[in-house]
Each structure stands twice: as C-alpha cells, then as structure tokens.
Homo-oligomer: A and B are copies of this chain.
Amino acid sequence: MPKQAPAEIELRTQNQLSELFAALDSGTGREVRRMLQTLTPQSIAQLLESSPPRIRQVLWKLIDKEVEGEVLQELTDKVRSQILATMDTEEMVAVMEGLDADDVADILQDLPERVMGEVLSAMKETDRSRVESVLAYDEETAGGLMDTNTVSVRPNLTLDVVLRYLRRHAQLPESTDSLFVVNRRGQYIGLLPLSKLLTTDPGVTVREVVNTDVEPIPADMADTDVARLFQKYDWITAPVVDDNNRLLGRITIDDVVDVIREDADHSLMSLAGLDEEEDTFAPIPRTARRRALWLGINLLTALLASWVISLFQGTLDKVVALAVLMPIVASMGGVAGSQTLTVVIRGMALGQIGRSNLSWLLSRELGSGALNALLWSAVIGGVAAFWFGDSHIAWIIVAAMMINLVTAAIAGAILPVLLRALRIDPALAGGVALTTVTDVVGFMSFLGLATLYFA
C-alpha cells in the first residue's frame, strides 16, 4: 500500500479546509463561525496549522472563547507563538484558565520573559504555584513534560480505604489509569493500576498489589529519552521523581507521542537543513532567512568542488568528453553515500549504533558498496566506451567510479559517528559533509586519473 496515497483523514481535513476558505471568501464571518462550532478543538487546531498566516488570524478571531484554550494547547509551538503575539495579558490568562499545568507551562515558555511574568502574576495563586513547579524544568526534559496533578496513596492502606477515598474524591485527573504509591516522605514506591483496584479483594493492602515494574523517571531526563522508554516498555503512565526519589508528577503517553513524532522528523528535516518544528506555512521572510544560511554553506562546498575541477583545466581543455562525464561520478557517489548515511543516522536515532557494532556495519557497507561499485562502474564503462568510442575514457571512469562508491560507503558510515563524537548533530551536518567528500573524491579521482593518462 503506498503510504502517501490520499488517506481518508487527510481528505476530510482538506474538504473542511476548502469549505472554510470558500466561506471566508464569500465574506460571511457568521457562516464560518457556525462551521467552526461543529468541529472539535483538535480539528480546529489542525485547520489552523494547515492555513496560511493571514487566514490563521482571521479564523482565530471567529473561534468560540470557550474552546480557545483547548485549541491553543493542540497547536505546535511555532503556530501558537504567532497567535499569542496578538493577545494582551488579560486575554492570555483567560485563555489558559482550565488547562493543565504542563500545558500552561508549555505555552508560557514560548513567550518573552516579561510577558510570562505578567501572565503568571495575573493567575490564581494555586494555578500559579503549580505552573511554576513545571516551569522550573527545561521544556525538553521529563520535568517539562510532566503533569503535577496526581493521586497518591500509602502502601499500608487497604484497597477498601482507597476505594472509599476515591468515591469521595468525585473526579480523577484526566487519563488517570493508575494511582501512585508513595511512602511517608513522598518517595515513589510503585503504581496501583485502577484495573487492579477493581478486581482485587478490597481487604488486601496496597503493598500486596503494588506494581513496581515501571521505574521512575528523573525530572532532568531528556524528553527524547523519556520517549524511548515509553516506546520500549509500552508504558501509558510513568512517575517523575526528583533526586531524592520524591514523586513530582506523572507523564502520560499522549504527552510523549508528540516528542516521538518530532524526534522522528528531526532526521528528515535536518538533512535538508530545516527545523523539525518548522511551520509548514511560515511566511516568506522567516523561510528565506533560514534557507539562505543552508544555501550559503552548500555554496562553499560547491566552490570547493569547482576548485578541484579547476586544478585539471589543462586536461579538460584537451579532452572535452571528461567535462560531459564528470558529473556522473560525483553524483553516483553522493547517492550511494546518502543511502549509507541515512541508514546510520536512523540507526543512531533508534539507539542501535555504537562502538560495539560500528565495525560490523562499516564492513557491511563496504561489502555492499563494493558489489554495487563493480556493477555500476561496468555499466557506465560500457556506456562511455560506446558513446565516445574511446576505451581509455571508459577505463578511467570505471576506476574513478569504483574509488568514489567505496569512499561513499566509508564516509556515509563514519561521518555521522565522527560528528556525534564532536557533539555536532549528524543529521544536520552529515549531508553537507558527505557531499563535500563525494564531490571532491569524485572529481579528483576521475580528472586526476585522466590527467595521468592524457598528460
């Protein structure tokens, strides 16, 4: 099944979008407002994400006040900042009323320091302290992801007491599937799944049924590590603790899914010099600025390749066929190298590649690269011999292609590991570094061998 075929869900969004744009064009705000009222906050968020900036502002004004907070919480950081930029403090406080502390903290972190302070001081005392306890942690850590709204119980209670306590509690925090078992000092002991609570004899104590399988997450763990743990162990809820193992809050899988998605997008976007949180509908100035930098870096590598070519101007002047064939050697090296690079970068993102298996991976890439080098250099040699009726040029391109494809395999496997050791993001720098190597080696080997022969 082609995964990118227009899917049901996508079609539905696109249809809603078309209707909405049509209604906006005909100029009846009332019609649009009615359409928005029939949609869930999540669908409205998706429509905002899928709209150009100016339409976003218009749509936002037509959304019902009561769902504004929920919609805001569903938006990605970049789009949210754009909308927040149009609000004053009072509006922001109103919008955030009723949201979870972690979501409010998430929104506040997009704001300038000064505005954040104003909004915080305008909030209710209890809400503020809850938000501040999340704000104490970096946005990209477990602490920044957690919800402090938890229900905890002591191990010596009987389930019957817990059941009666819950009955009085009237409501549990959203997506609660477990209670947290803590000792007198608030230190985490284990989970008490609601399903256990419902199916076990009420006379039993919490200690006898506590589930200690889920290890607590330190508040300063990176969010991508949290995401890996959730993926690995299929967790739905996990506790977050401080250095003394005291329970601070909980992370639920729905908060982690976005991290998983962004983490996976990171490699794709970085390889093209883009930010994984980039707004698809960012305006021209921001788009142009970000891309300019990337094009500049790539221009430098292209100039380096040109300089290599310029070393062989004498030979090129003598045999013009070389100019015709030389891009093939460089381009095939780039393609082969980027295949290896992509496999290694993804393997690293999945935590599979390190000292212990790198040498195996390198020899596999060398083996596979050598086989393809043999195959495709033979093909291109045949083509060159036939095209230019010159067996010398054919042998030269065969040799150059073999050199470059093997180099590409080595560079594709080694570069990302080297870059990571230097604490440079391999997904961001790997592609440029690789192209530089395959271009330089490609032109150098082809034109160099030709110079040796024809000079």
Contacts and interface: CB of A to CB of B under 8 A. Distances in A.
A327 B306 contact: yes
A244 interface: no
A234 B355 contact: no
Interface in A6-28: 6-10, 13-14, 17-18, 21
How many A residues touch the partner, as a band? 35 or more
Given A316-B320, A317-B320, A328-B306, A336 B50 contact: no
Given A268-B267, A356-B18, A371-B288, A299 B350 contact: no
A4 B348 contact: yes
A175 interface: yes
Contact of A298 (B258, B269, B335): B335
B335 A294 contact: yes
A379 interface: yes
Interface string A67-80: 00000001000000
Interface in A278-295: 278, 280-284, 287-288, 291-292, 294-295
A338 interface: yes
Nearest to A308: B324
Interface string A129-165: 0000000001010000000000000000000000100
B281 A357 contact: yes
A302 B317 contact: no
A455 interface: no
A341 to B, nearest CB: 8
A30 interface: no
Nearest to A2: B425
Nearest to A360: B52
Contacts of A13: 351-352, 354
A273 interface: yes
B266 A9 contact: no
Contacts of A185: none
B261 A236 contact: no
A121 interface: no
26 contacts: A2-B424, A3-B425, A6-B420, A7-B222, A7-B224, A7-B228, A13-B354, A17-B356, A42-B233, A49-B350, A50-B354, A163-B198, A166-B199, A167-B201, A194-B198, A264-B268, A274-B339, A280-B353, A281-B360, A283-B364, A288-B372, A291-B368, A302-B332, A305-B331, A316-B320, A323-B326
Interface of A: 1-10, 13-14, 17-18, 21, 40, 42-43, 46, 49-52, 74, 138, 140, 163, 166-167, 169-172, 175-177, 194-195, 197-199, 201, 221-222, 224-225, 228-236, 252-254, 257-258, 260-261, 263-269, 271-274, 278, 280-284, 287-288, 291-292, 294-296, 298-299, 301-303, 305-306, 309-310, 313, 316-317, 320-321, 323-328, 330-332, 335-336, 338-339, 341-343, 345-357, 360-361, 364-365, 367-368, 371-372, 375-376, 379-380, 383, 420, 423-427, 435, 439
